[in-house]
Amino acid sequence: MKLWEYSGKNVRITLKDGSVFEGRAYDYTSALDNEPDPESISIGIFELFAPEIEKIELI
């Protein structure tokens, strides 16, 4: 999954626990810049980490 491709786009992100987030994705952070955490992308006030994401789709 290439999170940086979704930055600035309207998306629906489904997490592995079944939670769903919709909105404009922004603030992609690579794993190198987010140490010790993995890469992430934000929607609203939520920072979502790559290992938690089941799927991401454009809306």
- Say whether pLDDT at 6 is over 80: yes
- Tens of pLDDT, residue by residue over 8-47, are 999 999 999 999 999 999 889 888 887 887 999 999 999 9
> Beta-carbon neighbour count of residue 19 at 10 Å?
12
Residue 56 is predicted with a pLDDT of 95
Q: What DSSP letter does each residue of 2-38 carry, written as one string? A: -GGGGTTSEEEEEETTS-EEEEEEEEEE-TTTSTTS-
Residue 52 is predicted with a pLDDT of 96
> What residue type is 12 in one-letter code?
R
Cis before 36 (ω within 30): yes
- Say whether pLDDT at 1 is over 80: no
> Beta-carbon neighbour count of residue 47 at 10 Å?
13
